[in-house]
Amino acid sequence: MDPKKTFDIPSLGPARFPSPLQLSNNSGDDLFNFVRESDRVLVDVSLSGFQQARESGSRPECLEKSGPRETIFFDPGKTTAAIVTCGGLCPGINNVIRSLVMALHYFYGVKRIIGVRYGYEGLSRDCPHEFMELTPDKVKDIHEFGGTILGSSRGAHPVSEMVDTLVENRIDILFTVGGDGTLKGAHAIGDEIAKRGLNIAVAGIPKTIDNDINLIDKSFGFETAFDVASPIVRDAHNEAIGAFNGISIVKLMGRDSGYIAASTALAMPVVNFVLVPEMPLKLEGEGGFLQALEDRLQRKHHAVIVVAEGAGQHLFDDDRRVTDASGNVKHKDIGILLKDRIQEHFGQSGTPVTIKYIDPSYIIRSAPANANDSLFSNRLAYQAVHGAMAGKTQFVAGRVHNRFVYLPISKVTDRRKKIDMEGEFWFAVLQSTGQPFKMG
């Protein structure tokens, strides 16, 4: 494949209908301009990347800028759109649903919008759930609540059946709101649609509370997660200092990436240790975590530990690999293991400790979006609608280098984004906590 085209977005065909949006193509008239197909955002914005492209004489890799096009592929009055939400709950899903409906209805005049119930299960042939009709009145207040009014589920369903359902219900655009597994499913649906030669667009809005979607700056719900977690950590600190040698352990989300745990520690700088999946971790012996914790208690007589759910999985004796319906590895409870091992360690040395273990994960997942995530969710939804109405397919709307762009689904699902252990962000965490640079 031509490396210059690896970020190109597939299109259903030429755009033939004038956009109903009354925008501009001229600067200086105080109107937002239509986005041209030639508008691009650089993937690599470093000076070295620019110099390398200039020396090789090649065009640098670019992403399509998102936004409304002057001509669109679908005739709005004859278009049917569907929305499906999949995977675990995440703050902001209802915001996305609301904004998709409002943009389709008011921006483009799409009158038939349906909600698919309980994830991809709602598109399977034997699904017992009826579609939900989505109108502006139906969704006008849903942003005030967490969760998703459409329901969600995990697990794969036959792709051919799901495409059959789209065809039978005359659905022209499918908006998929979900994480890695959901987007891979959307890509498979898009491939089946292309194989059949159908004019159905598939657009993704990346949803993962863990912020582990590749390439994009952040995913919606992530900021709310560490916003809600911060006062919990504050209260955990109060518990820790309320006892001599008090230890509070707070387990937060982060299956493969520790962004929530690390960001919470930076936002609430009473945390003394952050343990994330990306870091090597040793408990016992010289330079291990327990020695560092012992040193901390000798100095301050209290400690707050924030641990991501995927950290330290190698510490368990049982190495059997169990997955959920979406194929994600079901991690063992690192919080309980830490509590038990800490209790055992200090019991052997005769040092009295008081340990409190807190797991607020599901409370955080079901919280409504905060103001910043609400704003971000709305803008993501708008960009997805503009792209889908223009006939773009198998893409996600995301923000890269603080610019909204369209990315191929295949590029954001080929790997998980992880904390760079040599990057400034992790260094800031180490400076905030004061923990040893290495404990493994």
Is 362 annotated in a binding site? The answer is yes
Supply the angle between the helices 371-389 and 93-102 in degrees, to the nearest 10: 40
Evaluated on CA atoms 50, 56, 57, 60, the torsion sign reads negative
Residue whose pair of structure tokens reads 């110099």 in the numeric block: 51
Q: Name all domains of the chain by residue range, CATH numbers in brackets.
A: 222-365+421-433 (3.40.50.460)
pLDDT at 58: 86
**Active-site annotation holder among 29, 44, 210, 295:** 210
255 is known to lie in a ligand binding site: yes
Q: Are 33 and 23 in contact (CB under 8 A)?
A: yes
Residue 409 annotated as binding?
Answer: no
What pLDDT score was predicted for residue 325?
A: 57
CB distance 25 to 70 below 8 Å: yes
Structure tokens at 50: 């620019």
Closest CA to 7 of 400, 402, 381, 417: 400
Residues 6+ apart with CB under 8 A from 263: 222, 226
Q: Does the annotation place 176 within a ligand binding site?
A: no
Cα 137 vs. chain centroid, distance in angstroms? 28
Q: What is the pLDDT along the chain (440 residues), one digit of tens a residue?
A: 344 458 999 999 999 999 999 999 999 999 999 999 999 999 999 999 889 888 988 888 999 999 999 999 999 999 999 999 999 999 999 999 999 999 999 999 999 999 999 999 999 988 888 999 999 999 999 999 999 999 999 877 899 999 999 999 999 999 999 999 999 999 999 999 999 999 999 999 999 999 999 999 999 999 999 999 999 999 999 999 999 999 999 999 999 999 999 999 999 999 999 999 999 999 999 999 999 999 999 999 999 999 999 999 999 987 666 666 556 667 899 999 999 999 999 999 999 999 999 999 989 999 999 999 999 999 999 999 999 999 999 999 999 999 999 999 999 998 999 999 999 999 999 999 999 999 98
CA pair distance 20, 167, nearest whole angstrom: 26
CA distance 123 to 134: 16
The pair of three-digit structure tokens given for residue 111, joined into one six-digit string = 């009158």
| Residues 186/131, Cβ–Cβ less than 8 Å | no
User: Left, alpha or beta for 121 (phi > 0: left; psi -120 to 50: alpha)?
Assistant: alpha
Predicted TM-score (pTM) of the model is: 0.93
126 is catalytic: no
Q: Is there a binding annotation on residue 180?
A: yes
DSSP string, 141-167: TGGGSSS-TT----S---HHHHHHHHH
Q: Is 309 annotated as a binding residue?
A: yes
